[in-house]
Amino acid sequence: MSVRKSNNYMKRSGDEYLLCDQKGSVDMKKPHGTYHGDNTDKDKKHTTKNINNNDIPIENNHVPYKAVILLLLAITGPVVIFNDLGFTFMSHSLKSTFQKQETYSTHEDGTGWHKADDITLNKYSTDICSIERVSVHDISQKKFETEYKHKKPLIIQFTQGASDWTDVNQWIPLQLIEKYGSHVLYSGKPREIVRHGGNGDTETRLDYFINELMTSSSNASNQTDLYVFDRYFFKDSNLYIKAPPYLEQQDGVDDSMFFLGASTSGVSFHKHAEGWNAVIFGQKRWFLYPKEKTPPGGMYPGYSQLDWFHHVYPMLDESNKPIECIQHAGDILYLPESMYHSTINLGHTVAVGIQKIQAVSQIEKLFYKDNKLERQGLIIERLSVLKKLYELIPENAEVHLKLGSVYEDLSDLKTAEKYYQQAIDIDPFFLVAILNMARVKSKLNEKDIADTMFRKVIKMNPNMWDSYAAYGSFLIELQKFQEALLIFKKGCELQPNMHPFWDYLRYCQESVGDWEGAKYSKEKMNKLSKS
């Protein structure tokens, strides 16, 4: 058995993941959350070609499975098998015949996009707004630079809404399909977009995506997986946004992103260089935290945004609540550098984000430098950078987490344990810090404590697939195959297209004599290999 990357693995975008491992793969001990526009995948072009996923991250045809699993666990820890989980693939659910265009002219306002229903608005909308709203007529270049730039967020409102800065008719479904229907965009599950450095990981034709969006149920729970998060479409199209001069986009300085999301889709907390977001249709609920304070619950993959909203947000006292507001269609939101943010879309939401490629502040430059050093595998140099960040923002739980991760890589487990505990003390909701602590406890041979902590993470957020991967691997290490089987089965439910989950489920099934189950898992793996 060998562990390898798929040729089509969605690698980290340059300086985007602050917490990816230096091997270029998804390492669950290191959450992924902070990204910016400098993108190592920028050479990707829109194409209609299907992507071949026959290169599977886990290959197991030659060496006895159990021996190699235990060898890998002994050498690298219980989560190594799940390092290479990122795929780019053509969405199967969207390969349906494109329906008649009349489907998209039924909405009451004539745009074709669906507004949020009352159930969604009652659950996710709010009257709270702690972001300043200013008319475009009341803000000059000088006022923007002295009061807002790099200082605080701002929502700019326009008399005629989006019509003041774009041709809104070009953004309705009929027009997008007619002019750009064959364009292939990058879409993804809201949970996974931040993990992939602010990129969708699934190639989808625009007309297929809109067709699926329109024909899906308006029920929020059925639509949250639908989200285009694409860095190429806007700049490759003839669509435009004429923003105020102080937000002017510059080639080579700014990156652009096209967003098209179902109601209740959105992305979990992340941060990057300064930018702004223009909503053409729909609404976005924003949650913001300053750079000094990591959002309660920490960075991805701890919570998807809906998980965070349901499990963490209601538990927050006033001192830990976010800055928040609803951005309506026609508004442009300015976001200062290094401000943590997440969103929930209300109704079908069409938006464009513009983001600086390079950081300018000392803190964000250090975060970017740390990410670059991580990609290069320069652990000692990373430690120097992180110590500087620790001095600048000592209450930032993410920095404590990163320090713990570096010390763990250096096999200084006691120091790693100290920093992970400090991250947990700052933020008791920080799932990834707890998960990391569980792994360190296992390495320190404190198996009972590790087991308790793994279970705690799963209880705090049953939808975090990373915890099932880590805990299942831990149970295999202890040769508790029946328990591991149940854990990997849940992982397969959460990530049914993730080959390694089925691979490990099959191994556990064979280990306990469940040959029928193992046969089914193998068939599932074969189907995934051919898709």
Tell me: pLDDT of 81 over 60.
Answer: no
The pTM of this model reads 0.80
Structure tokens at 83: 């390092």
454-477, pLDDT tens digit by residue? 999 999 999 999 999 999 999 999
The pLDDT of residue 461 is 95
Tell me, yes or no, whether 349 and 492 share the same domain.
no
Name the residue range of residue 298's domain: 101-356
Q: How confident is the model at residue 508 (pLDDT cuts 50, 70, 90)?
A: very high
Tell me, yes or no, whether 328 and 429 share the same domain.
no
Is 136 within a domain?
Answer: yes
Tell me, yes or no, whether 369 and 345 share the same domain.
no
Q: How confident is the model at residue 72 (pLDDT cuts 50, 70, 90)?
A: very low
Give the integer Cα–Cα distance in Å for 198 and 270: 9
Tell me, yes or no, whether 78 and 18 share the same domain.
yes
Is 211 within a domain?
Answer: yes
Tell me: pLDDT of 230 over 50.
Answer: yes
- Total domains in the chain come to 2
Tell me, yes or no, whether 329 and 291 share the same domain.
yes
Structure tokens at 367: 């975060």
Of residues 233, 216, 235, the one with CA closest to residue 176: 233
**CB neighbours of 115 closer than 8 A, spacing ≥ 6?**
107, 109, 282, 347, 348
CATH number of the CATH domain containing 489: 1.25.40.10
Give the Cβ contact number of residue 451 at 10 Å.
Answer: 19
Give the integer Cα–Cα distance in Å for 449 and 385: 32
Tell me, yes or no, whether 285 and 406 share the same domain.
no
Pick 20 or 478 by higher pLDDT: 478
Tell me, yes or no, whether 305 and 407 share the same domain.
no
Tell me, yes or no, whether 417 and 500 share the same domain.
yes
Q: Phi/psi zone of residue 360: left (φ > 0), alpha (ψ -120 to 50 degrees), beta?
A: alpha
Last residue of a domain, one of 356, 391, 408: 356
Tell me, yes or no, whether 335 and 413 share the same domain.
no
Q: What is the mean pLDDT of the chain?
A: 81
Last residue of a domain, one of 328, 356, 384: 356
Is 96 within a domain?
Answer: no
Tell me, yes or no, whether 302 and 396 share the same domain.
no
Tell me, yes or no, whether 312 and 452 share the same domain.
no
Tell me, yes or no, whether 200 and 294 share the same domain.
yes
Tell me: pLDDT of 276 over 90.
Answer: yes
